[in-house]
Amino acid sequence: MDDSVKPERAAPASASPGQTPYSAWMRTDVLHSLQHPVSDHPGEHAWITSVQVSELYWMLIIKELRIAQAQLRANDLAQAIKTLQRVVAHHEPLNATWRSLAWMTPTDLLAILSRAVATFGKDTALQGWTYRQMVYLLGIKQGEHLQHFEPQPARWDQLNTTLHQPSVYDDVLGYLDRHGFPVPAAVFQRDFSQPYTPSKDVEKAWRDVYADPHQHLELQHLGETLADVAEGFSAWKHLHLMATRRTFGARPAYFGTEGVAWLVPTMAEIPFPELWSARGFIGDPPAACPHMHKQGGAQQ
């Protein structure tokens, strides 16, 4: 699926009088015409630029996740890992964009947002379609967010399609199942639009992948890369939460809910759940460890 709304493919921009090859290729004239402050605050340009950069990185991550899904379905694990490693790398500059806004106080933010609301109406960057599509691809399925996109029917259709499709994690589990680590059929036959329910059998599959540190090294590499992806995503959410605490406090924000109260529960939304829960049962604890006799967890 194309992650844009059926755009017409523009002919390659050749260098014309007044342009260098670099400016023609990077479309710099267009790029630098996209920032339109609506307030008199001197920091609004930084705000707009940071959010627009985030939008570009979210779209980049979406495209990479789609590529990784295709590679996993083709059983090309080595290339899928390389693609997911690029996702890890993309999160570094994405998360660093928050540093560009670290100067903001509540007074600064409200001066900008008050004019934006007066001009465009209320909204939140978390409700942008790129962020929501990335979250769906990571396996965090929350259909209630679709209501926000009813004014954008093409985007609503796009997100609804992604909501009902397998996530990257589903394709990872499909790969495990095809390569000797059984995953229950119900995992693949469920309604993909509903929140994922962790499975003890899937947890056991991950335990088996990691059972011998000298075997299944490529699958362990996949697991560690997925862990890095989840950490990068969770780090962005933490930085967003702290920026909200710092600049917005306890004011009503998301659909009338106090901003911090809305964001705090999202910190528990960590992709690839059994990859994490299995870690409590991987490896042998030291002899002196009081928890050496592990109880519960995945099926033995």
Of 92, 97, 102, 113, whose CA–CA distance to 229 is shortest?
Answer: 92
- Give me the mean pLDDT over the 80-98 stretch: 98
Q: Within a domain: residue 159?
A: yes
Domain assignment present for 79: yes
Q: Rounded to an integer, what distance in angstroms lies between the CA atom of residue 271 and that of residue 234?
A: 9
Residue 69 pLDDT greater than 60, yes or no = yes
Q: Give residue 292's pLDDT.
A: 56
pLDDT at 182 over 90: yes
Token reading at 31: 């790029």
Please indicate, yes or no, if residue 31 is contained in any of the structural domains: no
What is the per-residue pLDDT across 206-227, written as a single tens digit (0 to 9) for each?
999 999 999 999 999 999 999 9
pLDDT confidence of residue 288? 66
Q: For position 198, what pLDDT does the model report?
A: 96
C-beta pairs of 203-206 under 8 Å, 24+ apart in sequence: 203/274, 203/277, 203/278, 203/281, 203/297, 203/298, 204/278, 204/298, 204/299, 205/173, 205/176, 205/177, 205/181, 205/274, 206/274, 206/275, 206/278, 206/282
pLDDT of 49 above 50: yes
Q: Sorting pLDDT into bands at 50, 70 and 90, what band is 252?
A: confident
Block residue for tokens 């056991």: 204
> Do the Cβ atoms of 79 and 152 come closer than 8 Å?
no
Residues 6 or more apart whose Cβ sits within 8 Å of residue 151: none
Across 131-155, average pLDDT: 93
CA distance 279 to 206: 9
Question: Is 80 exceeded by the pLDDT of residue 259?
Answer: no
> Pseudo-torsion of CA 21, 22, 24, 27, nearest 10°?
180
pLDDT at 298: 45
Q: Is the pLDDT of residue 284 over 90?
A: no
Residue 298 resides in a domain? no
Residue 7 tokens, joined: 């755009």
Note whether residue 30 is domain-resident.
no
Q: For the full predicted model, state whether its pTM sits above 0.75.
A: yes
Q: Is residue 72 part of a domain?
A: yes
Structural domain contains residue 1 = no
Give residue 206's domain range: 39-281
Q: Is residue 222, in this structure, part of any structural domain at all?
A: yes
Does the pLDDT of residue 2 top 60, yes or no?
A: no
Residue located via tokens 């397998």: 166
Domain total of the chain: 1
| Average pLDDT value over all residues in the chain | 89
| Arithmetic mean of pLDDT, 8-17 | 60
107-132 per-position pLDDT tens digit: 999 999 889 888 988 776 556 899 99
CATH number for the domain including 167? Answer: 1.20.58.480
Q: What percent of the chain has pLDDT over 70?
A: 87
Least confident stretch, 87-96, 213-222, 257-266: 257-266
pLDDT greater than 80 at residue 14: no
